[in-house]
Every structure is written in structure tokens, then in C-alpha cells.
Structure 1
């Protein structure tokens, strides 16, 4: 190989190494920016209230972790000590699971009906569902709240969940996937004598499992992070969700907050969505990237 060619190849390798170094450096900086506040929250939950109140949050764990987490779990903290973190976690978990499962069930069946059945105004109903994507939550929240009041569903888990279980986005995604299912599958099912329910259970659902898994992760986090709707619907502390409860634990003015307990509660609030993402990571990535069905 001529010297000039060797020099060109070496320069190319150096450029590639340089580009890889810059890429990894940017990635590392991004991770640090996102992780550092969570790390401070975790460390702050292990110190006493006076240390954090003085603004002296160390970078190493303290000795008050067990008392802080025990108080947050059993009694709560801050200026809003009526609801323990354990109760709020259960409420948020139930609400998030019901919202995720309800959205997937309704979206699956509605998309299945639109794609595989022929009935009058079929596409009109689909576009009516799709149009709701253009309406922000704030536009619909007042009439939805009035409906819940008229039905007597305030301060109930049903009132928290029912208005949020319909999802135009999930319906659209399932419809687009169902359109890729070959017509031969439908014809083969008819020849074998399978009805619509049998075809749905034996063919459509197994083919949709990765999509369902990916949407479950997204919709669970959506339900877990709900703030405005639970804030409007619930006055009963026994139904308080942890996202709303965290904001109510923080005082205003000159009142000193129990930041150690608040941070411990924040750590509790992080655990369920992180666990869902970690446990379903493989299915989540596969559902988002898989193209061959």
C-alpha cells in the first residue's frame, strides 16, 4: 500500500475515533444532566431536615435513610401529613394500571371493528375518534368534570379513571397495524370456521403482543404522571395520588419544609414507573422498532 494511502487510512481512523469520543462525551453529559437531580433526591432522602434546610446537601449518603423512608411510607410529611406515601402509591398504581389496561382494551376493540368489519358510517366514527387528538386536555376538562359531577363520580376511583381510558392515539396505532395483517389470514380463518371473536383472540392478539407491550409502558407512565385531573376530581385524602400529594407536601412562604421526607416520597414515586420500564424494556423496544409482523 502506498504511503499516501496508508496516511489517508490512518487519518480516517483518527477521525472516526475522534467522532466516537465526541459522541460518547455528549451522551455522558446528557446522562449526567438527567441523572444528577435524581441522585440529589436520593442522597437528600438519607439526611436530616436541618442539613437540607441549611442548603448543605452532601454528595454522599447520610444516616437517616430508614427513619425518613419509614415516616414517608407510614405518615407522610411536610405541611400535608394526612396521607402516607404507601396509600398514595397504591392509589397511583391502581389508577395507572386501570388507565393503561382500559386504553389498550378499548383501542384494540375499536380498531379491530374499524378495520375488519363493514358497517355504515364506519370511517366517520374513526375520524370522529381521530379528531379528538386535535383537542387539548384543557378544552375538554371542564365539560368532562361537569359530567362526572352529574354522575356522582367525584372522589371515586371510577371518576379518576373512566374519562382517561379512551385513547385516540392507541386506536390509530392499532388500526395502522391491523391494516398490515394479510387478507389471507382472514380468508384462512373463515375457511376454518373461525368467527370474529375467535379470529381476534387467536390471530390478531398474538400478532399485536409487542405493540400492546410498548403501549402499556407508555400508557402506564401517562396514567402515573396525571396531575390536573386527580387534582380536580379528588378531595378525599384516601384517594390522593402521589404526584398530587408531593406538591401538597411542599409549603409556601417562610414555612420550613421537611425536605428529607419529601425527597423520600419522591423516590417512592420514581420506583413503579422505573420498574415497569426496566421489566418490559425488551418488549418496549421491540414493539417500537419491529417492522416485520
Structure 2
């Protein structure tokens, strides 16, 4: 029984509104700051209303960048980050779903041991193994390359575990029916398991895309050529200029542009993302 108390509805909506305001206010400040000139922040008062320099700031950052930061224009860095995020997300999902399929549906020696070895790598994120990983990438000549940016990050024990748990819930009758119809292992995987895994793939894609987009430490180590800078690296360089005050209006314009791709991915895949997280019955 749900109680209908108007004061309780008002209270809950007030709490939700307050929470949204607290979370959204820094984003609002970033957007407002990106519409002013640099002098607006030297006066010591943060403006709360939009300024007249929106097109100038965004056009400058996309076309020229900030010369004092040593970073290229945002167009190139956004493209690098987008390519890196997509490659990491797609490769992680492809490797994880195939490895989980092999572990669940193929009877080979030590398959359970293989799964637990994969699972144990959760305790070894890239930050823990960064020195040997960098040494391997350097010896292979992958510094300043898209392969060096993405290959060391494409394995995912978490995604393998999630796909394995989902495959264990698929009724064995589906596999038997496919076998009776003459479907081989790859046809069963392509025509039955992949469609059933659609919401799981969508949810993982959103999470892994944001993971790849937000990478900072690894790209900073393996890239010295500005052609391979990512947007997160660029923002850090813009905010940490030497012997000068940061141009916060331009930095905030870069921050707003950097927020757009993850936000758009979440918006367009929101339905599948939520369904993949909460759905329990297939």
C-alpha cells in the first residue's frame, strides 16, 4: 500500500530538486564561464549570467586551440579521444563476450581455472602494472600511436564476468534446439546469444566508452607527439600553463566540449543502458 501524503511528495521533490541543483550548478558555471572573455575572471567575481563571447570562445578552441598550452586544436584532441574510447569499448566487449562464450559453452581442460585467472586480473588495473606495460609498449615501438593508446586497455575481466553470468542464465534448451536445427557453435553465438545480449552490450558500451574517454594517466605516458593528445590531456595542459594565469573562459569551453560526447552517448543509449542494468528476466 502506497501512502498518498501531499507533504511527503513535496518533501521528496524538494530533496530531489536540491540534489539536482547541487550536481548541476558546477556544470552551469562551466557553461556560463565559457561565454565570457578572460578578463571576467580577473576581477575576482564569477559571473552567473551568459556573456557575449560564446561563438568566439568555442570557435577559437575548435579551430586554433590555446597557443600557451602547447596542445593542438580541440578538434584533433576530440577526434583522438573519440577514436580511443570507441576502440576500447568495442574491443573490450568483443574480447569479453567471446571469452565468456568459450568458458561457458566449450568443455576444455582447466576452463574454470582460466576463468578465475581472468577474474583475478581485476586486482591488477593498468595503474598497478603501468611500468611493465609501458616497457612492453615501448619495446614494440607502439609509443605515439593509436595501437599504444588502446591495446593495453582492451582486456576486461569485469565484462567477461558479466557476460559469463548472463550466459549461465540462458536455458540449455536453446542450445539443444539450435543443435537439432543444424546450427554450429558460431551460428548459435551469432543468431541466438548476441541478440539476447543486446541490452548487456549496450550497458557495457556506455560504461566502457566513458572509461576510455576519461583516460589520462596512460595517454600521458605513451604520447609525446601532439597529434595523439586526448582531450583530457589537453584540458590539463590548458589549466596548468606556466608563468601565466589560465584563460578560464577557454578552459571552460574545452570542458563543455569534452562533456558532450559522453553525454550524447548516455542520452541516445539511455533506454538500453537502464534495461541492461536492471533486467533480470530474459
| Shared fold, TM over 0.5 | yes
Query: For the Cα contact (< 8 Å) 1:78–1:251, is it kept in 2?
Result: no
The residue number in structure 2 matching 1:116 is: 105
- Paired with 1:151 and 1:192, the residues of 2 have a C-alpha distance of 46
The residue number in structure 2 matching 1:9 is: none
The residue number in structure 2 matching 1:47 is: 36
**What is the TM-score when the length of structure 2 is the normalising length?**
0.96
The residue number in structure 1 matching 2:23 is: 34
- Paired with 1:63 and 1:212, the residues of 2 have a C-alpha distance of 43
**Which one of 236, 255, 261 corresponds to residue 272 of structure 1?**
261
**Which one of 278, 281, 287 corresponds to residue 270 of structure 2?**
281
Check 1:136–1:162 CA distance in 2 against 1; reply closer, same or farther (3 A cut). Answer: closer
Query: For the Cα contact (< 8 Å) 1:75–1:83, is it kept in 2?
Result: yes
Check 1:252–1:87 CA distance in 2 against 1; reply closer, same or farther (3 A cut). Answer: closer
Deviation at 1:78, TM superposition (A): 6.3
- After superposing on structure 2, the runs of 4+ consecutive aligned residues of structure 1 that deviate more than 6 Å are 12-15
**Where does structure 2 lack aligned partners over 5 or more consecutive residues?**
none
| 1:73-222 alignment runs, 5 A limit | 73-77=62-66, 79-222=68-211
- Paired with 1:244 and 1:133, the residues of 2 have a C-alpha distance of 26
- Paired with 1:17 and 1:137, the residues of 2 have a C-alpha distance of 51
Deviation at 1:164, TM superposition (A): 0.5
Check 1:79–1:117 CA distance in 2 against 1; reply closer, same or farther (3 A cut). Answer: same
Query: For the Cα contact (< 8 Å) 2:85–2:210, is it kept in 1?
Result: yes
Query: For the Cα contact (< 8 Å) 1:78–1:250, is it kept in 2?
Result: no
Aligned partner of residue 188 in structure 1, secondary structure = helix
Query: For the Cα contact (< 8 Å) 2:70–2:237, is it kept in 1?
Result: no
Check 1:16–1:74 CA distance in 2 against 1; reply closer, same or farther (3 A cut). Answer: same
Deviation at 1:59, TM superposition (A): 1.3
How many residues align? The count is 282
Root mean square deviation, CA, Å: 1.7
Query: For the Cα contact (< 8 Å) 1:53–1:259, is it kept in 2?
Result: no
**Where does structure 1 lack aligned partners over 5 or more consecutive residues?**
1-11
- Paired with 1:126 and 1:245, the residues of 2 have a C-alpha distance of 38
